[in-house]
Amino acid sequence: MPKRYPYALREHKVVHGVQIPVEELKIDDKAQRTLNKQRAMGIANNLVPEAVGTIVVSQRPNGDRYIVDGMHRWHACKLRAIPHLVAEVHHDLDQQEEAVLFLIKNRESSKPTPLDEYKIGLTAELPLFVDTESALVKRNLSMGSTGTNTVGAVAGVLRITDLYGPEILERTLKVAEDAWGRTKETWDGMLLGGIGMFLGRHGDHVDDEVLAAKLGRKDPAFRWRANITALASAGGTQHSGTGSRVSTCYQLILGEWNKGRRAENRIAA
């Protein structure tokens, strides 16, 4: 299945091999991952100056130079008092385009954390992230460490939007909350993934209020989670990845929806 939300960047001037004083470089934390000082210290302790390589820099129209990729090497060089870095310099990008460039540069390399990628994706105004954020805001939720009003399952939530669209994500969040209330366990990634898969495949034939009532009546969220983990791992006898747990949740939801229905009214898997 092709990706519905590709990363794209307009043509612009790029100059390679530019020497830039370390002290001139800046960081825009809205278009950049969070600095891990311990990681930077580790790089500094083992730094070979000749092997630092090329960092990626955006030179904005006003002349300011912001690091797009290579922040930890830059910080390590500051710690080691290395005066210059060699850069691949991209000209006349704005903050949004810098965020897009960061994601493109890091897509196949050292990945940012899912939450960093989400934050930067919003700065880049990429539709996948913007649409996801819109669905969360409509439910008075935000992305972050999982809590009562925050969802930590970044990759799982983005996957729902990517595969089925933001409307299905919003329905998923509402069904989960109506079923189990606004709790930390409600926003578990495999529960949201299972509901999202069910609504994404069968949403045209489902009454969301009835679905929420069925799910909530069966078990609280923490028990659903425990049952899914046990079933997906065959009682602990085999490895279970996230995809397997989401599929298991989907199958349980399908069974719950079909329970008590005549054969002609049941949904087939």
- Which residue range(s) make up the domain with 87? 14-110
Report in angstroms the alpha-carbon separations of 28 from 51, 54, 210: 25, 19, 46
pTM of the full predicted structure?
0.76
Domain boundary among 41, 76, 110: 110
100 with 137, same domain: the answer is: no
In terms of domains, do 204 and 142 share one? yes
Residue 135 and residue 97 share a domain: no
Pair (219, 188) in one structural domain:
yes
Evaluate whether residue 116 is within a structural domain. no
Per-residue pLDDT of the chain (269 residues; tens, 9 = 90+): 455 688 889 999 999 999 999 999 999 989 988 899 999 999 999 999 999 999 999 999 999 999 999 999 999 999 999 999 999 999 999 999 999 999 998 876 667 889 999 999 999 999 999 999 999 999 999 999 999 999 999 999 999 999 999 999 999 999 999 999 999 999 999 999 999 999 999 999 999 999 999 999 989 999 999 999 999 876 444 445 677 899 999 999 999 999 989 888 899 87
Whether residue 251 is found in the same domain as residue 152: yes
54 with 128: CB under 8 angstroms?
no
Collect all residues with Cβ–Cβ distance below 8 Å to 60 and sequence separation of at least 6: 66, 92, 93, 94
Q: Is residue 221 a part of any domain in this protein? A: yes
- Spatial neighbors of 157 by CB under 8 A, at least 6 apart, are 132, 136, 143, 151, 169, 189, 192
Note whether residue 115 is domain-resident: no
Asked whether residue 164 is assigned to any structural domain, the reply reads: yes
Enumerate residues 6+ apart whose C-beta is below 8 A from 26.
Answer: 64, 65, 66, 67
State the residue for tokens 């819109």.
134
In a domain, 67, yes or no: yes
Measured CA to CA, the distance from residue 158 to residue 265 in angstroms comes to 31
Q: Is 5 within the bounds of a domain?
A: no
Q: Residue 79: how many CB atoms within 10 A of its CB? A: 15
Same domain, yes or no, for 51 and 158? no
Q: Is residue 120 part of a domain?
A: no
Instruction: Look at the chain and report how many structural domains it folds into.
Output: 2
Closest by CA to 180, choosing from 203, 206, 155, 148, is: 148
Residue 267 · residue 258 · CB < 8 Å = yes
Taking CA atoms, 102 is separated from 20, 121, 125, 157, 223, in Å, by 19, 9, 13, 21, 40
The CATH number linked to 101 is: 3.90.1530.10
* One domain for residues 103 and 25: yes
